[in-house]
Amino acid sequence: MRYWRCKSSLYFLLLALPSIGYAIWPFEPKRYSGNSLVNAGSMGLGPGRVIAFGDFNGDQFLDALMLGYDQRTLSVYLWNHEEYIFQKSSSFTHPSNVYNVVPGDFTHSGKLDLLVMSGALSSGPLDLSVYPSLTAGGFDVTNPFSLTSSSLSQPIPLDLNGDMKIDLLGMTPSSQHSSTAPFQMWKNVWNASQAYSPLFEVMNSPFHGSQCTLSNPHSNAVIDLDGDCLADVFLVCDNGNGIKHFQIWINNKDSGFTLAQQGDLPPGVQSITFADIDRDGTIDMVFPTCSSVSSSGAGLDCYINIAFNQQLPLCATTEPSVSKGVLTCRPPDNLCIADPNFKYDFSDGLVRFPLSALFPEGPTPSLLVQDTSFSPSIPLSLTLGDANLDGFPDILLIVSSSQGRTPKMIYSVPCSRGIAGCDQSGNGKRGWQVATKGVKSLEAVKDARGISFVDMDEDGTLDLMVQRTGSSNILFVQNNFYYDAFFLKAIVLNGACNNDWCYTEDGGKYHPFGVSYSGASYKYTVLDTSGRRSAAQVGQLPQTSYHSLQSPYSFFGLGRTNNYIENLFVGSTIHLPDHYINMEGVIPNSKVVILPSSIEGEAWKRELFLRPGEWIPWVTVTVVAGTALLAVIVLVLHLNEKREDELERRRASHHINFDAL
């Protein structure tokens, strides 16, 4: 009887051991398992369409702005880190159909306002309204700012005069017919100290040169193109001849913008996106071209095109190379040097390959280039982001076939024979390969209408958000692959509240951490594990038109490195002699918040937030265990030494000195 009682006690003890072990186990269980892309569901988002991202409550977690199916109801969903879900925060209804929304701190209050573009497009211009944010949360929906209307070509936000306030660049209904100055500037003249201050004042833009008529839709962007870490302007034009062309306007600070390059775009060009494709420290262009587009938005006979930015390369050593008094390369400790001879060559310098090269087996699918479920149709661009953290941007796209519309991830890979984007000998800058392992959650989607990169919970990996036409209209896909590489996030704020605490009328305070703006620029150098140095460039929020769905911060993979980031150059749009700073020794796997100063000679503030990775507890356990082991070894050696000393003392005390007798 006693035997069975003891056995029963031992049995229950064994059952309790796992729960006891979990109670003292220092590591949280993983939310997702499997080395793959994992279906994460809607993450709490309601019905409708995600129209913009932004940090609306300044907690440094990405929130979502949704547009209801009625195309008028706007709802803010805040990310709850503890619950790991989006939660609805505020909602209101706009009086007319909404076509685009741009979150931005237009009132310079340290919180995001909403610029809403709406109207009846078939019969009139594009109405512009700004809903200012409230310090207690939400927006002042009863007293929005009504702005001067725009033409149907959506205006873009940017800082045109270097005061860190968001202006707008576009065309008014009257200026779009001008042959000399169609560009108009909505200058931000907001003055919080005045009771009835206007928000914008429309005037001629500071663009000096032959101006074009902006296309609708367009792929206009605010990003550094000549390499001086100062945002330039890329415009897509359409003068009614059926062929789109582009203009690149260089930022000369107080002297305005000058036309540096223009030319025709390839026939059938669709939306253009920008990224440093070959990791050489310059911004390249990526866009599809199609022979025609069907009524369902599928492009036929499509090619993927990459126009590389040709400008000064990175120096092989830390010493600058000079020929006849002119720099021939950029030294790694001085990357923000303008190259006036930069260019995009759409003839000999254009790399292009057919969509069929990515899908050699079976019939060639079409490329979805328009979302026709929205009215009017939304142009879909190739979404760029470094999904595997190797330092080279990858591509998200949607293919259309008889089986439906399926999202695909295209990895950037080194060139070799038979890889799309490389020549027949296997040479080229970068190749492209469709992800086939661990992508069942993507392959299961047959009704995609949009796809974007988004970092859920700010954990340092780019996840995917698929917008669908079915009842499950939003699908998040967790990027659960293990990558032996590092990342960095960075955001330049707009100087609201003097880069310090913002105070409310009731005595509360908050940091202006959610107010990034279009035009900040980043360049960095890093050493890989073999000691090779490379440079890369990233822009901050370069595009906002037509539901671009870009995050307010910049995210870039660093690849494998055993060192800190050598140099991180951060450029702003401030019109000062030094519009950028150089940060040395930045820690990877962190987020850098830069607060620029508008006063010449005053140091910029920098804050670094290190994200503890999953390996931190393991390192802690290893260090503690190693320290304990070394302590035991030292203790044993110490006791042995003490014992030997005692024995030697005893032998000495028993020794007889015969010479003394």
Q: Tell me the CB-side half-sphere exposure of residue 626, using CA atoms within 13 A.
A: 6
Could you tell me whether strands 350-354 and 303-307 are parallel, antiparallel, or unpaired per DSSP bridges? Answer: antiparallel
From CA 328, how far away is CA 314, in angstroms rounded? 9
CA dihedral sign, ordered 580, 583, 589, 590: negative
From CA 205, how far away is CA 257, in angstroms rounded? 9
Query: How confident is the chain (661 residues) per 10-residue block, as mean pLDDT?
Result: 40 43 53 90 95 95 96 97 95 96 96 95 87 92 96 96 96 92 96 87 96 96 97 93 92 96 95 97 97 96 97 88 86 94 90 95 91 95 97 97 95 96 94 96 96 94 95 92 93 89 85 92 93 94 96 94 91 95 94 92 90 70 92 94 87 66 53
**Tokens representing 304?**
């993927």
CB neighbours of 566 closer than 8 A, spacing ≥ 6? Answer: 332, 524, 525, 526, 527, 533, 584, 585
Amino acid code (one letter) for 244: K
Could you tell me whether strands 145-150 and 232-237 are parallel, antiparallel, or unpaired per DSSP bridges? Answer: unpaired
Neighbours of 350 (CB within 10 A): 15
- Report the pLDDT value the prediction gives residue 320, as an integer from 0 to 100: 81
What are 593's strand-pairing partners?
A: 491, 607
- Among residues 1, 11, 103, the alpha carbon closest in space to that of 50 is found at 103
**Helix, strand, coil fractions of the chain, as percent rounded to 5:** 15, 40, 50
From CA 342, how far away is CA 360, in angstroms rounded? 36
Distances (CA, A) of 541 to 221, 517, 518: 9, 7, 5
CA dihedral sign, ordered 564, 566, 570, 576: positive
- Among residues 281, 284, 289, the alpha carbon closest in space to that of 264 is found at 289
Can you give the residue ranges of every domain in the chain? 36-610
The dihedral over CA atoms of 582, 586, 590, 593, expressed in degrees to the nearest 10, equals -30
What are 521's strand-pairing partners?
A: 539, 571
CB neighbours of 14 closer than 8 A, spacing ≥ 6? Answer: none
Answer whether 450's CB lies under 8 Å from 374's CB.
Answer: no
Could you tell me whether strands 590-595 and 486-492 are parallel, antiparallel, or unpaired per DSSP bridges? Answer: parallel
From CA 387, how far away is CA 442, in angstroms rounded? 14
Coil, strand, or helix at residue 298?
strand
Answer whether 289's CB lies under 8 Å from 303's CB.
Answer: yes
Answer whether 342's CB lies under 8 Å from 309's CB.
Answer: yes
Q: Tell me the CB-side half-sphere exposure of residue 14, using CA atoms within 13 A.
A: 6
The dihedral over CA atoms of 313, 318, 322, 327, expressed in degrees to the nearest 10, equals 40
- Report the pLDDT value the prediction gives residue 657, as an integer from 0 to 100: 58
Among the CATH numbers 2.40.10.10, 1.20.1070.10, 3.40.50.12780, 2.130.10.10, which is that of 36-610?
2.130.10.10
Cα distance between the two ends of the chain:
77
- Report the pLDDT value the prediction gives residue 648, as an integer from 0 to 100: 86
Answer whether 49's CB lies under 8 Å from 467's CB.
Answer: yes
